[in-house]
Chain A
Amino acid sequence: MKDKKLITEKLAKIIFITAAVFSIAAIITICIFLFANGIPAIRKIGIINFLFGSVWNPSAGKYGILTMIVGTIYVAAGCLIVSVPVGVLTAVCITKYCGKKIKAVLEQIINILAGIPSIIYGFFGMIILVPFAKELAYILGISGASGSGIFVGSIILGIMVLPTIINLSVTAIENVPKSYFEGSTALGAIKERTIVKVILPAAKSGIFTSIILGTGRAIGETMALALVLGNSATFPKSIFHSMENLTVAIVKELSYAEGLHYEALISIGLVLFVFILIFSFSLKLIKKGNKNG
């Protein structure tokens, strides 16, 4: 009887630990296959040509992804310009100016926004925002604009990233000790001054984390941007002209790419992968530094 119990216990332990190994195996497999399939193309194209070449024209044998890298950076920056002010201000509104009922409604709305699939965001952007942007470009005197591009991409991405910024900022603000607010008020500062000069600076590490996470999301977003960035792989003339970024390039061309073109797309994925790894690793180091310092 006891032996049977021991065997069952041992068996269970083996099963559990095997399961745990699975996630390590998964990440290792992903790394192996991305590198194994991504590196050959980089070798053939030449890493300098690949990363710094500004022409992407597979049919002419040109595989430079510089414009796409720049595109990714621009869109991520645009996303932050939209989402950080709106997000942090909304967090301030939720924590400092909203009654309980409105707060609950707002939080539910933000929850749902967080769950809307990216393809729906892309669809909305494509049907509503792109024509609007085209009109706007016309009014502003910018010629030849299609409407799709950084402008719409930033807005859509900004909305998508809002829940992340808002939720983490709300948590950061709520974690600021009440005594700071009291101390500042007792010195004669009005509520708004206290929020700007004391509370927000005290919450800045949490808010900063939210911005980093939002940036990570913006860099990796694919489907929403696929529908609103447009189609040209060249440097855009304005924020209302088509452009491409790393993720969209993959999505648009992967289904029909062959040979070196196909391999190059995987290499783009590899570049993205490495970049995101470095990004999250640096974030962790900064967090550890903050804790110790």
Chain B
Amino acid sequence: MIKITDFNLYYNDFQALKNINMDICANEITAFIGPSGCGKSTLIKSINRMNDLIEGCRIEGSIEIANAEIYKNINLPMLRKNVGMVFQRPNPFPMGIYDNIAFGPKTHGIKKKSELDEIVEKSLRQANIFDEVKDKLKQSALSLSGGQQQRLCIARSLAVSPKILLMDEPTSALDPISTGKIEDLVLSLKDKLTIVIVTHNMQQAARISDKTAFFLLGEVIEFGQTEQIFYNPVTTQCENYISGRFG
């Protein structure tokens, strides 16, 4: 599904990603783990080209999604429609809950109210938040709790029917109960989507992911089945990180 080949990324003179080679399979949950600042978020933001927004960002190599090279001649809005992103801090728009969810579909041409209503309900249900907000769809999204806002953001991303969902430490700003709800939610989405999740929380990675990639200083040190990474790491750095000797 996602093929990363010889991928390097520079922020001005600083090299944030070094020679990344990775194949991410469809309908799986892949976790990126590793200490802070070692490239996990940077790589994930490269998959939907959100890094383009950062001044001075340069790349080498290629990323292919469904055999289309995304850094060459790509329909950028379509890329981002099909590769959704959930951010570390929930960032709902300062609008009503309904309007937040409807924003994506409207952007991509859906105008009929009945269609929008359907999509909004479906996405809110998929994100397991419909029952909590169904009576207050006109209310401002900012009036929701942190955990609810994050589920709202997930619903917002789902509303444009992406094939891939990128999640950049989606639960690090949330309490344990909200975290649990979101982890269940992610598991439930697996059969329809390909999910890549960056997490600082190793237990989280172990709980929900099929494959895990361990990052250190801009390189992928190890990549494989989650069970293998956690119980039988091949490299010493990975083993040290897993066992908590650093990070």
A residues contacting B by CB (< 8 A) are 177, 179-190, 193, 197-198, 201-202
Contact = CB atoms under 8 A, between A and B. Distances in A.
A190 to B, nearest CB: 6
Given A186-B84, A197-B107, 18 more contacts: A179-B87, A180-B91, A180-B94, A181-B53, A182-B87, A182-B91, A183-B156, A184-B103, A186-B80, A186-B157, A187-B80, A187-B81, A187-B84, A187-B104, A188-B76, A188-B80, A193-B107, A202-B94
B247 interface: no
Contacts of A182: 50, 53, 87, 91
Main secondary structure of the interface of A (DSSP, over half): helix
Contacts of A181: 53
A188 B81 contact: yes
B108 interface: yes
B10 interface: no
Given A179-B89, A179-B91, A180-B93, A185 B50 contact: yes
B31 interface: no
B50 A186 contact: yes
26 contacts: A180-B91, A182-B91, A183-B87, A183-B91, A183-B92, A183-B153, A183-B156, A185-B53, A186-B48, A186-B50, A186-B80, A186-B84, A186-B85, A186-B87, A187-B103, A188-B76, A188-B78, A188-B79, A188-B104, A188-B107, A188-B160, A189-B77, A190-B76, A197-B107, A198-B103, A202-B94
B110 interface: no
Interface in B136-181: 153, 156-157, 160
B68 interface: no
In the A-B complex, the 10 residue pairs with the closest CB atoms: A188-B81, A179-B91, A188-B80, A186-B85, A188-B77, A187-B104, A183-B91, A189-B107, A202-B94, A198-B93
Contacts of A184: 93, 103
A193 B108 CA distance: 11
A202 B79 CA distance: 26
Contacts of B85: 186
B101 to A, nearest CB: 10
Contacts of A193: 107
Contacts of A183: 87, 91-93, 153, 156
Nearest to A176: B94
The CB with the most chain B CB atoms within 10 A, among A182, A185, A193, is that of: A185
Contacts of B76: 188, 190
B95 interface: yes
Contacts of B79: 188
Contacts of B50: 182, 185-186
Given A182-B50, A182-B53, A187 B107 contact: yes
Nearest to B91: A179
A189 B94 CA distance: 17
B190 to A, nearest CB: 21
A185 B80 contact: yes
Nearest to B100: A183
Nearest to B103: A187
Given A180-B93, A183-B93, A184-B93, A190 B48 contact: no
B199 to A, nearest CB: 19
A109 B92 CA distance: 37
B27 to A, nearest CB: 22
A198 B141 CA distance: 14
B40 to A, nearest CB: 17
Contacts of A186: 48, 50, 80, 84-85, 87, 157
Interface in B43-90: 48, 50, 53, 76-81, 84-85, 87, 89
A197 B94 CA distance: 11
A269 to B, nearest CB: 42
A197 B108 CA distance: 13
Contacts of A187: 80-81, 84, 103-104, 107, 156-157, 160
Interface in B26-44: none
Contacts of B94: 180, 201-202
Nearest to A202: B94
B189 to A, nearest CB: 17
A275 to B, nearest CB: 33
Contacts of B53: 181-182, 185
Nearest to B166: A186
Contacts of B157: 186-187
B12 to A, nearest CB: 15
A187 B153 CA distance: 11
A189 to B, nearest CB: 5
